[in-house]
């Protein structure tokens, strides 16, 4: 069940045969999304304009949860089909047109679905809309494809959103980890760094009267000013109002945790790798991380901010790299512990899920953390893991990372072959005694 390719330097998953021909994973060169929120019809319409490279002859792959209403390649209408990957790990959309390798313009029109994975993230009110891109790294097809036609996590894509409100509207604003430009009261553009992947971006369009905000200007160790922004809606998801005192207390608490965590992270792992930290503070204990942003409960602020170094500082290239993010984040969150041994029965296929798997292995949290504690202990004579992770965050800042590259980086940093430990623990093969 494991498909391990130690020598494969390509982030692109292998092409595969379908009933109608060979499906090929592509390289998005850039993507522009026109998103129209019709406040009267209460509908959201998306037109995606994507420039892509098809690296070999075949049928281009993209993905979107919503079924596209129109797809064109270089202006010509084509069909697309939702297809299962060979091991049934996931589904992707395959353009039903055999094309020679080369550059193409893919345009996709679709409605933005209002509900998937039990998440309802588009709410229309009277002259208002509230749209938050909630994502999940523990579910299949849980990233940007929930909202927009996207590529998989391996691809870094310069993305721009052009936002248009149609019909009478209250003032709205956008919270995002991209650069937000306001053209007029109903028109915005958001552009994201070229390095972002489908799990990187945070976007929330909201009625300006419905939010409370607290900001703090953090001074980074390298002298940069880093705005930390905590904000909250004025009501809970069930509609109950949050009084201003509760809100002020939660935002303040979230901010204090963020500042303390930021100081600790900069001290241990070097300068903060993003321009700001944006928190949408919610009532749950859990959260979801993005690059320099998070949707988070107060108790999860520390965890989600650590992810801005591990998982959203370097960027996982696939589902089999996701365990590293949770393992390192939990380990830092819980105080950099070490242990002498790692129990055989705790080995999991953290990095060897079937190859097209897009979500992380849930064992990354506990078994992954325990493995990191073990490595920290084993390497204590060489300073433990902190100096290596500082090096990793510096060299892999906003670059994609696979488990195989992580192992290589570690082997070369410590001048020691740690591959057998990884094979035993995260690939759950070649049992050896640790």
Name the site residues for Zn ion (rule: CB under 5 A).
Answer: 326
Task: Kindly state the helix (H) or strand (E) to which residue 30 belongs, with its residue range.
Answer: strand 27-38
Closer Cβ to Zn ion, 247 or 367, answer by number: 367
What is the smallest separation between the CB atom of 208 and Zn ion, expressed in angstroms?
Answer: 30
CA distance 80 to 103: 18
Of 326 and 373, which has the nearer Cβ to Zn ion? 326
Convert 123-134 to b/e letters by CB count within 10 Å (16 or more is b): bbeeebbbbbbb
Q: How far is the CB of 28 from Zn ion (least distance, A)?
A: 26
CB atoms within 10 A of CB 42: 14
CA angle 273, 208, 40 (to 5 degrees): 120
Taking the least distance from each CB to Zn ion, the nearer of 65 and 332 is 332
CB of 386 to Zn ion, least distance (A): 19
Instruction: Please state the closest distance from residue 265 (CB atom) to Zn ion, in A.
Output: 15
Nearer to Zn ion, 13 or 311 (CB): 311
Query: What DSSP state is assigned to residue 379?
Result: T
Report the residue number, 326 or 421, with the smaller CB distance to Zn ion. Answer: 326
HSE-up of residue 386 (Cα within 13 Å, Cβ side): 15
Residue from 102, 420, 99, 394 nearest 270 by CA: 394
The C-alpha atoms of residue 245 and residue 145 are separated, in whole angstroms, by 37
Distance of CA 208 to the CA centre of its chain: 26
CB of 400 to Zn ion, least distance (A): 18
| Cβ at position 18, least distance to Zn ion in Å | 34
Give whichever of 91 and 403 is closer to Zn ion, judged by the CB atom: 403
Handedness of CA 40, 41, 42, 47 (dihedral sign): negative
Shortest distance, CB of residue 423 to Zn ion, whole angstroms?
Answer: 25
Q: In what order do the strands lie in the sheet with 172-176?
A: 122-125, 128-132, 203-207, 172-176
CA angle 357, 363, 367 (to 5 degrees): 140
CA-CA distance, 322 to 22, in Å (whole number)?
28
Smallest distance from Zn ion to CB 289, Å: 6
In this complex, which beta carbon is closest to Zn ion, that of residue 115 or of residue 284? 284
Taking the complex as a whole, how short is the minimal distance between the CB of residue 307 and Zn ion, in angstroms? Answer: 6
Which residues, 6+ apart, have CB-to-CB distance to 140 below 8 Å? 89, 90, 91, 357, 358, 359
Nearer to Zn ion, 155 or 333 (CB): 333
Which CB, 326 or 404, lies closer to Zn ion?
Answer: 326
């Amino acid at each position: 069940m494991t498909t391990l390719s130690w020598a494969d330097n390509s982030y692109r998953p292998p092409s595969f045969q379908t009933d109608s021909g060979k499906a090929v994973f592509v390289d998005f060169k850039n993507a522009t999304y026109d998103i129209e929120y019709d406040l009267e019809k209460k509908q959201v319409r998306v037109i995606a304009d994507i420039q892509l490279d098809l690296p070999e002859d075949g049928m281009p792959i993209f993905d979107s949860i919503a079924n596209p209403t129109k797809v064109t390649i270089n202006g010509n209408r084509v069909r697309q089909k939702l297809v299962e990957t060979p091991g049934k790990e996931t589904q992707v959309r395959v353009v039903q047109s055999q094309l020679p390798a080369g550059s193409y313009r893919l345009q996709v029109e679709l409605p933005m679905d209002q509900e998937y994975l039990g998440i309802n993230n588009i709410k229309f009110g009277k002259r208002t809309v509230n749209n938050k891109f909630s994502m999940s790294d523990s579910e299949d097809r849980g990233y940007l494809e929930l909202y927009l036609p996207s590529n998989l996590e391996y691809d870094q894509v310069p993305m721009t959103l052009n936002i248009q409100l149609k019909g009478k509207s209250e003032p709205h604003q956008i919270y995002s980890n991209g650069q937000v430009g306001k053209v007029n009261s109903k028109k915005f553009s958001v552009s994201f760094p070229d390095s972002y992947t489908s799990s990187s971006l945070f976007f929330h369009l909201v009625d300006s009267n419905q939010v409370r905000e607290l900001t703090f200007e953090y001074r980074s160790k390298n002298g940069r000013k880093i705005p930390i922004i905590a904000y909250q809606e004025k009501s809970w998801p069930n509609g109950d109002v949050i009084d201003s005192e509760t809100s002020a207390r939660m935002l303040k608490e979230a901010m204090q945790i963020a500042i303390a965590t930021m100081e600790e992270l900069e001290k241990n792992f070097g300068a903060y790798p993003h321009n700001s930290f944006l928190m949408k503070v919610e009532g749950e204990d859990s959260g979801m991380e993005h690059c320099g942003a998070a949707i988070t409960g107060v108790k999860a602020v520390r965890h989600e901010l650590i992810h801005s170094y591990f998982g959203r500082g370097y960027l996982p290239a696939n589902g089999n790299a996701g365990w590293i993010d949770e393992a390192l984040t939990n380990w830092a969150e819980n105080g950099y512990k070490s242990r002498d041994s790692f129990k055989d029965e705790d080995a999991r296929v953290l990095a060897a899920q079937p190859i097209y798997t897009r979500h992380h292995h849930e064992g990354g949290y506990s078994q992954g953390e325990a493995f990191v504690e073990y490595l920290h202990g084993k390497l204590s004579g060489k300073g433990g893991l902190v100096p290596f992770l500082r090096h990793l965050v510096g060299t892999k800042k906003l670059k994609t990372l696979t488990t195989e590259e992580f192992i290589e980086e570690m082997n070369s940093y410590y001048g020691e072959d740690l591959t057998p430990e990884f094979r035993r623990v995260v690939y759950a093969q070649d049992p050896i005694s640790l």
